């Protein structure tokens, strides 16, 4: 199995990058929808439309893309376990842990909006919107530049 994964390493990496782009696109877009949802009248047409958009974005794009990103990343580590000796991947995985926490928070906020029970301000979602970007910059610099 390890030999098979090593032979298909670049294919795994390509799928990894495609999946992480989709994951990040959704992580940037979802909090943006929440910024508008905060201002929408409860029970109104806009609020009900945003609920459908948020559910589809999370269930059809963000969650599957996150799973494929982790799966390909994990299979690449399986194929090339020596990579875990390098410093950069530990910073990358720590940033990914924080990315997962933001992902979980966004999923919880979706449920709050669904129940018309959102308790956070527009400013809160504008700040949350920046966190995945900062983490992405750290992750890509670590995996491409490998400073240590
Ligand atoms: C937002 C999430 C992620 C981003 C933006 C990201 C980004 C990247 C990029 C750009 C590469 C290609 C680097 C190169 O060829 O120079 C890469 C490779 C890799 N990533 Fe990720 N990744 C993410 C998540 C993950 C996860 C969750 C894992 C671990 C489970 C992981 C493990 C790896 C591994 C092992 C490689 C191959 C490194 C190599 O052999 O060159 N990544 N990642």
Question: Can you give the residue ranges of every domain in the chain?
Answer: 2-145
pLDDT score of 108: 98
Using the CB atoms, write b or e for 106-135: b if 16+ within 10 Å. beebbeebeeeebeeeeebbeebbebbeeb
pLDDT score of 15: 98
Ligand 1 centroid, distance to 16 Cα (angstroms): 7
Half-sphere exposure at residue 29, Cβ-oriented, CA atoms within 13 angstroms: 15
Ligand 1 centroid, distance to 33 Cα (angstroms): 27
Which residues of the chain, if any, have pLDDT below 50? none
Could you give the CA distance from residue 78 to residue 75 in angstroms, rounded to a whole number?
5
pLDDT score of 136: 98
Half-sphere exposure at residue 121, Cβ-oriented, CA atoms within 13 angstroms: 3
Report which protein residue has its CA nearest ligand 1's atom 33.
73
pLDDT score of 122: 97
pLDDT score of 19: 98
Could you give the CA distance from residue 107 to residue 105 in angstroms, rounded to a whole number?
5
pLDDT score of 28: 98
Specify the ligand 1 atom closest to the Cα of 99: 1
Give ligand 1 pocket residues (Cβ under 6 A): 13, 16-17, 20, 23-24, 69-70, 73-74, 76-77, 80, 83, 96, 99, 136, 139-140, 143-144
pLDDT score of 64: 98
Could you give the CA distance from residue 109 to residue 142 in angstroms, rounded to a whole number?
30
Burial (0-12, 13-18, 19+ Cβ within 10 Å), 29: middle
With beta carbons less than 8 A apart as the criterion, state whether 139 and 98 touch. Answer: no
């Amino acid at each position: 199995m390890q030999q098979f994964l090593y032979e298909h390493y670049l294919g795994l990496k390509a799928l990894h990058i495609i999946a992480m782009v989709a994951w990040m696109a959704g992580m940037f877009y979802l909090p943006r929808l929440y910024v508008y949802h905060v201002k929408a009248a409860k029970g109104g047409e806009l609020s009900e439309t945003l609920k459908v958009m948020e559910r589809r974005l999370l269930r059809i794009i963000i969650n599957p893309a996150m799973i494929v990103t982790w799966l390909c990343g994990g299979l690449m580590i399986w194929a090339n376990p020596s990579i875990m000796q390098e410093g950069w991947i530990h910073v990358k995985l720590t940033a990914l842990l924080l990315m997962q926490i933001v992902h979980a928070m966004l999923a919880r906020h979706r449920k709050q909006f669904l129940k018309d029970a959102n308790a956070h301000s527009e400013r809160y979602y504008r700040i949350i919107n920046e966190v995945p970007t900062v983490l992405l910059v750290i992750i890509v610099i670590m995996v491409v530049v490998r400073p240590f």
